[in-house]
Amino acid sequence: MLDNFLISVAAMAAVLGIMILVHEFGHFAVAKLLGVRVEQFAIGFGKRLVGFRKGGTDYRINLLPLGGYVKMAGENPMDSHTGDPGEFTAHPRWHRFLIAIAGPSMNILLAIVLVTGVCMVHYAHPTYSDQPAVVGYVILNSPAAKAGVQQGDRIVSIGGTQTPVWDDVIAQIGVNAGQDLRLVVQRGNEFLDKIITPIPEGPEEAGYAGWVPNRAIVVGGTEPGPAAQAGMRSGDIVSAIDGKPLASVEALMDYIDQSKATPVTLTIQREGQTFDMSVTPVATDINGQTHYRLHFFHADPVRISHLPFPKALARSLEANKRYSKLILELVQKLVERPAAIKQFAGPIGIGVIAGQAAREPGWTPLLELTALISLNLGIINLLPIPILDGGLILLLFVEAVIRRDISRSIKERIYQAAFVFLLLVGVIVIYNDLSRYVPGLSNHLP
């Protein structure tokens, strides 16, 4: 337990540290290039722990490592300004725009670079994730079943996304919990319009549809029981049961539950050969309920690619475009339905997820997570909320339109309101993290 906690803390510190450093370096580099005097380049907040001074800038690491900042001369609109040409506000608006947008741009660039590198070195993903969204199984009484979706249907449109792959479908379902979502499925030669309403599931209350992808049933291993006794091996592919083709392990489990202890015949593919295997399911207690099982482990087929740079870059741009649309859709849902904030993670949530990624084999899971969070940070910072970079850009745009500076008193009120808003959002996000990840705490929180 302590080891997992320490790994999570270290992973979170590494992920957030890299993103903050890259973000602030963007502001710093452009400010220096344009002749703005940078007084501090800081990682963390609060009391200065260590650092050095060079070129008029104090490079420092502060006590609280949850963020960072670049302090430029005359940056605060509430400060008095001397007219020094090195001050931020003494520079033309297009200079200030470039400085403001540089931080988020660096985060987005980092996401593109990291995903490109992962695709070049070790791009591992389930084989179904980038394949046409053909339904392998529909769970009884699920939203998909109530919408009339059937096994074998191909999803050709969902939420406005045309010809989606499974990654697109999973993303659309995840951000639309409790919302009607239009989809079109192809069944044979027919195209059918459906409305599905995903239900909230899990502590994040992400959307759940109740369908699973069409994918091969690959045996990852066996434990003592019918499958091992019948000679099943790791790597076998179960393609049919009693002559009926199978498109998902969930369909196999449902068939076995209905068969109970009646022997079934599995069609097995092994090393280019196909043969039948007779197996008798046994009753198994699962969470206080009796189910019938064969006692083998299923392993989703994984494809590992090593793409050349042009293809890796193209894959990275496509993935980041998809995730960007998803982030913006989440923000839109938050405006329309404030309860959607439960799908956002705070520092505790990031630590848990980062720890899980760090414990997985290899570096790629942690790099992929860093890319995703960096993209989130870049896009969120571009939102037109004062205090954020996007808010500064918005105010610069307004001033350019009215051709004069907004008064200091109005800016002060705007920044105060924005500060209170962001503080409330931060409190809610941390509250959600605590209720999710601290055992039993949700029973004591109001």
Bridge partner list, 222: 296
Domain ranges within the chain, ordered by starting residue:
2-37+73-120+352-443, 135-213, 217-281
On the question of a common fold for 135-213 and 217-281, the answer reads yes
112 C-beta neighbours (distance < 10 Å), count: 19
Residue with tokens 């392990």: 249
pLDDT (tens digit, 9 = 90+) per residue, 314-347?
A: 989 988 998 888 888 878 877 776 656 666 666 6
Query: If DSSP codes are grouped into helix, strand and coil, which group holds residue 265?
Result: strand
* H or E element, residue 365: helix 364-381
Give the domain 135-213 fold.
Answer: Pdz3 Domain (2.30.42)
Bridge partner list, 54: 57
Cα torsion 277, 281, 284, 290: sign: positive
E strand map for 24-119: 38-54, 57-72
Both tokens of 396, joined, read 């610069």
**How many Å apart are CA 46 and CA 375, to the nearest integer?**
26
pLDDT band at 196 (very low <50, low <70, confident <90, very high): very high
pLDDT at 35 over 60: yes
pLDDT at 445 over 60: no
Q: What top-level class would CATH report for the domain 217-281? A: mainly beta
Beta-carbon contacts of residue 3 (< 8 Å; ≥ 6 apart): none
Q: How far is CA 436 from CA 55, 235, 255, 359, 413, in A?
A: 46, 37, 35, 20, 35
- Classify the phi-psi angles of 80: left when phi > 0, otherwise alpha if psi is within -120 to 50, otherwise beta: beta
**How many Å apart are CA 179 and CA 175, to the nearest integer?**
9
102 C-beta neighbours (distance < 10 Å), count: 22
* H or E element, residue 444: none
pLDDT (tens digit, 9 = 90+) per residue, 368-422?
A: 888 988 999 899 999 988 888 999 899 999 988 988 888 878 888 888 888 888 8
Mean pLDDT score across all residues of the chain: 84
**How many Å apart are CA 111 and CA 313, to the nearest integer?**
11
pLDDT (tens digit, 9 = 90+) per residue, 90-122?
A: 889 999 999 999 999 999 999 999 999 988 988
pLDDT band at 246 (very low <50, low <70, confident <90, very high): confident
- Of 136-145, 305-314, 334-343, 354-363, minimum mean pLDDT range: 334-343
Q: How far is CA 264 from CA 282, 292, 426, in A?
A: 11, 12, 55
Both tokens of 11, joined, read 């992973």
Query: If DSSP codes are grouped into helix, strand and coil, which group holds residue 183?
Result: strand
pLDDT at 439 over 60: no
Whether the pTM exceeds 0.95: the reply is no
Q: Note the pLDDT of residue 62.
A: 87
Q: How far is CA 359 from CA 1, 66, 188, 299, 356, in A?
A: 13, 22, 44, 19, 5
Q: Note the pLDDT of residue 364.
A: 79
Burial tier of 228 (Cβ tally within 10 Å: 0-12, 13-18, 19+): middle
Q: Note the pLDDT of residue 43.
A: 84
